[in-house]
Amino acid sequence: MPIDPAKLAPPGVRTLAPYIPGKPLEELEREYGISDSIKLASNENPLGPGQRALAAIAQTTRQIGLYPDGSGFKLKQALARKHGCGTDCITLGNGSNDVLVLIAEAFLSPQSEAVYSQYTFAVYPIAVQATGATARIAPANPAGHAMPLGHDLVALAQLINERTRLVFVANPNNPTGTWVTADALRRFIAAVPEQTLVVVDEAYIEYVSDSDFPDASRWLGEFPNLIVTRTFSKVYGLAGLRVGYALSHPSVADMINRVRQPFNVNALALAAALAALDDAEHLQRSVETNRAGMAQLRAGFEALGIHQLPSAGNFVMIDCGRPAAAVYDTMLRRGVIVRPVGNYGLPNHLRITIGTREQNERMLAALKQALHP
């Protein structure tokens, strides 16, 4: 009997559960025979990219017959100015998802361990398992905590040992939306042994308005074992182009860049990200739209008697008080895509991206119909 070629893959890959993205609009409309649907499932900016980014994309299309700048020189220079660091501290990625995988590839092995929270970004366990490293999962805060289901930094710290090479902390956390304060996070990083790298994932930091929220990139000079990841997929509205980056000590960046593939960020993404950094007007409008939408959803959920977790991002997680799969399916049939999080171990919850006022109204109406048919 011939061998199954899949058995040639290492155990960590064979047993890997792949990441499942939010359902695309085209797929929904094809399956249900509907049109004019909306997607509030993947934490995209409902305003899309700004005019400066769009103009840069249009101009760069004339050059797509050539390979992009493999070093991302101009974008790295702009990011170095933004964060007050050297260009040798920066690693560019095909979205911050790519950077997270590169970090795991550079620093994990079957002999090492990584630590992350119970309810956190699904890419962390995927990246860790693919390397053959051992994952240590810290229990999340209890439901009655001020930051329910969020990071318990004490529990994370207790899992760190001499084999731990990476600790992942998403702040704000996805999918819960919860966060840890500046003092708490700084104390945590300071206590982590120097042989362990702390990855602070700040994909949603531009949406945060809390004065006690940390910008971990400001601590890079103090903690050589700190890595901070950012993305252009959220507030900058460039999710479809895939560009993100990591900030770290130069020697850490050197290791990550050794496993980074050449030309991993395409020319359109490089140009759009560079232009987006200078578009303060679009950034402000995106943040204001999100803030208004957050208030709108909070009031809407309260009227429906639905519990919402605290969130500092551009999304909220709600407890439907029942298995959410049926609620999700009913909303799909009404042309509204949200995100079930049963794969995170939260079968009664839905994660909902904050949209425009009109999108939010439509989502709340669909949710009401799903909960009270």
pLDDT tens profile 51-103: 999 999 999 999 999 999 999 999 999 999 999 999 999 999 999 999 999 99
| Distance, CA of 116 to CA of 325 (rounded, Å) | 26
Residues 18 and 66 placed together within one structural domain of the fold: no
Q: Could you say which of 277, 298, 322 is where a domain stops?
A: 277
Residues 214 and 309 placed together within one structural domain of the fold: no
**Per-residue pLDDT, 16:** 76
**Per-residue pLDDT, 71:** 95
Using the structure block, give the residue that is written with the tokens 């809390």.
Answer: 210
Residues 236 and 170 placed together within one structural domain of the fold: yes
Residues 168 and 145 placed together within one structural domain of the fold: yes
Residues 67 and 93 placed together within one structural domain of the fold: yes
247 φψ region: left (φ > 0), alpha (ψ -120 to 50), beta (else)? beta
Residues 55 and 44 placed together within one structural domain of the fold: no
Q: Could you say which of 235, 253, 277 is where a domain stops?
A: 277
Give the chain's residues under pLDDT 70. none
Domain of 190, CATH number, reads: 3.40.640.10
Residues 267 and 356 placed together within one structural domain of the fold: no
CA atoms within 13 A on the CB side of 364: 23
Domain limits for position 302: 5-48+281-371
**Per-residue pLDDT, 10:** 84
Residues 170 and 207 placed together within one structural domain of the fold: yes
Q: Could you say which of 244, 260, 277 is where a domain stops?
A: 277
**Per-residue pLDDT, 19:** 76
As given in the structure block, the two tokens for residue 329 are 């399916």
Determine the residue type at 346.
L
Nearest to 366 by CA among 332, 343, 342, 341: 332
Residues 271 and 297 placed together within one structural domain of the fold: no
**Per-residue pLDDT, 351:** 98
The secondary structure of 61-112 as a DSSP string is: GGGTTS---TT-HHHHHHHHHHHTS-GGGEEEESSHHHHHHHHHHHH--TT-
The tally of domains found in the chain comes to 2
**Per-residue pLDDT, 176:** 98
**Per-residue pLDDT, 336:** 97
